[in-house]
Chains A and B, each alone.
Chain A
Amino acid sequence: MTTLPLRIFEGQALNYTQVWRASVFSNFLNPVLYLTAMGIGLGSLVDRNPSAEFGGLDYLVWLAPGLLAATGMQSGAGEGSFPIMAGLKWIKTFPAIMNTPVSVTDLLVGLLSWIGVRLIMICTIFAGVLVIFDAADIGRALLAIFPAVLTGLAFAAPMAAFTSWIEDDTGLTMVFRFGIVPLFLFSGTFFPIEQLPDLLEGLAYATPLFHGVELTRAAALGIESALPVWQHVTYLVVLFAIGARLAQRNLTKKLRP
């Protein structure tokens, strides 16, 4: 065992101290804006025609956990991409670190644990906003943090693998535009996927965000998820594990030429 991943974690935290105010502020503002616009603004229209699709709940209450899971995804994908590209190419902290006793695996473990902590921060702030908006009680809001963080990690590791495989950031822009944004819109965040044509509904089942949304909603609202909880969890854990393995391989190719 080595404690070197902890040192990487410390380095990431040191960098974060440069930006934490702006970061925390936007992590708070983001859910407030979304819940106000979609939950209260759009929700007041939706709630005029109460629909069984939302389990008899206010649209805001139904939507909020979906947004929490989607925030986990976006944050995980974000943390797994641009900071990795910066470390590899833009600022080159990773190649510099390779001249120290730190190994590629130490580096990756440290980075992923830091991303985990960042996700916990982001999702906890979001959970606080849920309580402020009266969308969940404190206990359930806290419980919902776990699946949202897991969703984030399930995106962060494959994104890290992808980022350490490509040569420049044009690929990243593509992934966000044609991957993350459609997932955000069509994985049951804003409306139940049963509303989609059958073909797309089947596709939605295959997307990782759907499983994250189901878990988070089940935790926040105390309702049943589409599949048994362990199946949703397994899907996300496997995705994380495959991503981490590929990231290790790709980082080794880049950093130990």
Chain B
Amino acid sequence: MNESLVTARGLTKRFDDLTAVDGVDFDIQRGEVFGFLGPNGAGKSSIMRMIGATSPITAGTLTVFGLDPYADGREIRSRLGVVPQENMLDEELRVRDNLYIYGRYFSLPRKVINERIEDLLAFAHLEDKRTAKVEHLSGGMKRRLTIARALINEPELILLDEPTTGLDPQARHILWDRLYRLKQQGSTLIITTHYMDEAEQLCDRLVVMDQGRIVAEGSPRSLIEEHSHREVLELRFPVGTQESALLKLDGLAPRQETLADRVLLYVDDADRALAEVSARGLQAESAVVRRSTLEDVFLRLTGRSLVE
């Protein structure tokens, strides 16, 4: 344990005059699931591509397996599994041929690939689809195939760029289950996401990014403890009455966020806060008591909610 697989110091990526990644520092240890969480354009994919040795860094330092991605890109890539944001499967080929040819790009012998294909099809729950053309798969199946493809070389480190974006809730849960199995097997995973619940489910440690910078770092629990309160009371008022309601809420919660359609009260005991709201004579259209999530942390840190 405590062997650093990826180390970044002042890591920076610029495209012409746009700074996509703006001097970030992080260390990723063997065996952990590390998350990059942030909204569109935060620079998550840019970081993934630099770690994946497919995009040169602009400034700072980056080592992967202790190697330099620029000089030793080929070796690094041979030890990585990459699930890109876009699947980039060969839609014209069959499911098994996609796995086969990808294995060949790692110079694996046919026999080894054919053995692994069976295991991977089972893992991705695609045994029935082995001879189907990829273009006929559902979105969730394609995503599972992309993950299976990334495992063909038995990678030490797996990069997953938004593994569940665009999938329906059921497909997401199937994928989470698969990723959880990888974690149980001791794989090191790096995941980007804009879903707070995904980060909470999967990540041991994560950084919250905004506009190319890291704005917070820690375990999901510690981030919530540090940057939010334990519970949240979400109040929705009838149209046009939120303004006046806000006046009466004054001083009720240690922290309060006003969104377009609802008010969030951050408190340690949401039930007590709700009783207090009633005591002040306020009639909310709906009131939801819930635990604080990373979404709330993000809102706190950036003043904006994450786009879903």
Contacts and interface: CB of A to CB of B under 8 A. Distances in A.
B101 A99 contact: no
Given A14-B97, A15-B93, A18-B93, A257 B15 contact: yes
Contact of A4 (B52, B88, B92, B105): B105
Nearest to A100: B105
Contact of A7 (B82, B88, B104): B104
A182 interface: no
B51 to A, nearest CB: 11
Contacts of A14: 93, 97, 100-101
Nearest to B78: A101
Given A102-B105, A256-B56, A257-B15, A95 B88 contact: yes
Given A11-B101, A101-B74, A18 B106 contact: no
Contacts of A255: 54
A93 to B, nearest CB: 5
A185 interface: no
A5 B63 CA distance: 27
B77 A18 contact: no
A96 B89 contact: yes
B105 A15 contact: no
Contacts, number: 66
Interface residues of A, number: 24
Interface string A86-121: 000001110111111111000000000000000000
A96 B84 contact: yes
Interface string B101-120: 11011110000000000000
- Name, among A95, A99, A257, the residue most crowded by chain B CB atoms within 10 Å (CB to CB): A99
Given A18-B93, A101-B78, A101-B107, A257 B55 contact: yes
Contacts of B106: 100-101
B74 A3 contact: no
Contacts of A4: 105, 107
Given A99-B84, A101-B107, 19 more contacts: A8-B105, A10-B101, A11-B104, A14-B93, A15-B90, A15-B92, A15-B93, A18-B93, A91-B90, A91-B91, A96-B102, A99-B80, A100-B77, A101-B75, A101-B105, A101-B106, A256-B55, A256-B56, A257-B15
7 tightest A-B contacts by CB? A100-B105, A96-B88, A99-B82, A92-B88, A101-B78, A101-B74, A11-B101
14 contacts: A4-B105, A10-B104, A14-B100, A91-B88, A91-B92, A95-B84, A100-B77, A100-B102, A100-B105, A100-B106, A101-B75, A101-B106, A103-B74, A257-B55
